[in-house]
Amino acid sequence: MAKSKYEYVREFETEDKLLPNVFILVRIDGKGFHKFSAEHDFAKPNDVRALNLMNHAARSVMNELDDIVLGFGESDEYSFLFRKSTDLYQRREAKIVSTVVSLFTSAYVYYWRDYFPDSSRPKYPPVFDGRAVLYPSEVEVRDYFAWRQADTHINNLFNTSFWALVEQGKMSPRAAEVKLSGTDSKQKNSMLFEEFDINYSKIPAIFRKGSILLREQIPKDMDKDAIIPTLPETLPGSMVAKATLFTVIENSSSSLDTPSETTDSENVIA
């Protein structure tokens, strides 16, 4: 095709290729979900429908982008780890991040009704932002997921204590905050147990530890649609961490398919 005289404007586009041979991590996060969760009456402190919808949207992302080997979700955020050698969009940052965010957001809206059957769609369009972070080695990748999971735990313990004080203990939000300020996790655990009969360790793992989606290797000749995702809980504990973060990443190929889901992410920080 002949070049038009306008073609020169292409020269204004800049290169944004991510460094080769490092792990690409993309994290998305809901914009203003403090308000979004209130407007849609999300249960406090955790709404299992909302978390499952997040998981479904993340599964859509992983089904579309084969090079994502691991996903971790909590609250209104999801992290996606790409295999080190991915050449998706020649590692162009804007293409990678915008595709993940766009697909996640459209899937979140598309599947909304399956999780919130009382409304056909959200009251207004939810927005997610996204960023890519590069990690040079498995050490940082492991610590990254440990960081997000520690965040899940800290927030959940605080929120569980806070709402127990407010809803069961009939305290004002301000008084609950004052009572909790400066307490450590041991004190929160005993308060929940002694004052509210809540055994924190019995709270569903999806709330305490977040959700993991991990891609598993399947035999090449297997019918992809016939795969029933296996829960990593059924695998030996040590294998989940190793297979996920360290083996599967390097052996990842197009024969990898259906991510499976677990709420028990303990093994990632093992």
Task: By CB under 6 A, name the one of 22, 27, 42, 79 that touches ligand DGT.
Answer: 42
Where in 144-250 does DSSP place strands (E)? 211-217
Q: Does residue 160 interact with ligand DGT by CB under 6 A?
A: no
Task: Report, in Å, the least distance between residue 161 CB and Mg ion.
Answer: 19
Out of 28, 37, 249, 259, the residue judged to bind ligand DGT by CB under 6 A: 37
42 binds, among Mg ion, ligand DGT, none (CB under 5 to 8 A by kind): ligand DGT
Which DSSP category does 4 fall into? Answer: P
Q: How far, in Å, CA of 76 to CA of 269, rounded?
A: 21
Look up residue 158 and give its DSSP letter: H
The alpha carbons of the chain give a radius of gyration, in whole angstroms, of 21
57 binds ligand DGT per the rule CB under 6 A: no
Those residues with Cβ within 8 angstroms of residue 26's Cβ, 6 or more apart along the chain or in another chain = 79, 80, 82, 96, 97, 100, 130, 131, 132, 133
Contact call for residue 46 and ligand DGT (CB under 6 A): yes
Stretch that binds ligand DGT, among 41-49, 86-94, 109-117, 255-263 (CB under 6 A): 41-49
DSSP per residue over 31-75, as a string? Answer: TTHHHHHHHTT--SS--HHHHHHHHHHHHHHHHH-TTEEEEEEET
Q: Which residue has the tokens 């609950």?
A: 176
**34 contact, one of ligand DGT, Mg ion, none, CB 5-8 Å limit per kind:** ligand DGT
Per-residue DSSP letter, 246: I
Using alpha carbons, select from 86, 45, 15 the residue that is nearest to residue 254: 86
Is 28 an interacting residue with respect to ligand DGT (CB under 6 A)?
Answer: no
Given Mg ion, ligand DGT, none, residue 44, with its beta carbon under 5 to 8 Å by kind, binds ligand DGT
Told to check if 177 binds ligand DGT by CB under 6 A, we report no
Residues that bind Mg ion (CB under 5 A): 29-30, 33, 75-77
> What is the spatial distance between Cα 137 and Cα 53, in angstroms, rounded to a whole number?
31
Among 57, 72, 73, 76, binds ligand DGT (CB under 6 A): 76
| Options 34-42, 106-114, 172-180, 192-200: segment touching ligand DGT (CB under 6 A) | 34-42
Return the residue of 24, 25, 26, 50 that touches ligand DGT, per CB under 6 A: 50
- Inter-residue contact 118 to 241 (CB < 8 Å): no
Q: Which does 37 bind (CB under 5 to 8 A by kind): ligand DGT, Mg ion, none?
A: ligand DGT
Is 108 an interacting residue with respect to ligand DGT (CB under 6 A)?
Answer: no
**Residues 126-140, buried b or exposed e (16+ Cβ, 10 A)?**
bebebebeebeeeee
Residue 46 near which of ligand DGT, Mg ion, none (CB within 5-8 Å, type-dependent): ligand DGT
3-class state of residue 254 by DSSP: coil
Shortest approach of ligand DGT to residue 74 CB, angstroms? 8
Q: In this chain, which of 23, 26, 28, 30 binds ligand DGT, going by CB under 6 A? A: 30
In the complex, the residues that contact ligand DGT under the rule CB under 6 A are 29-34, 37, 42-47, 50, 75-76
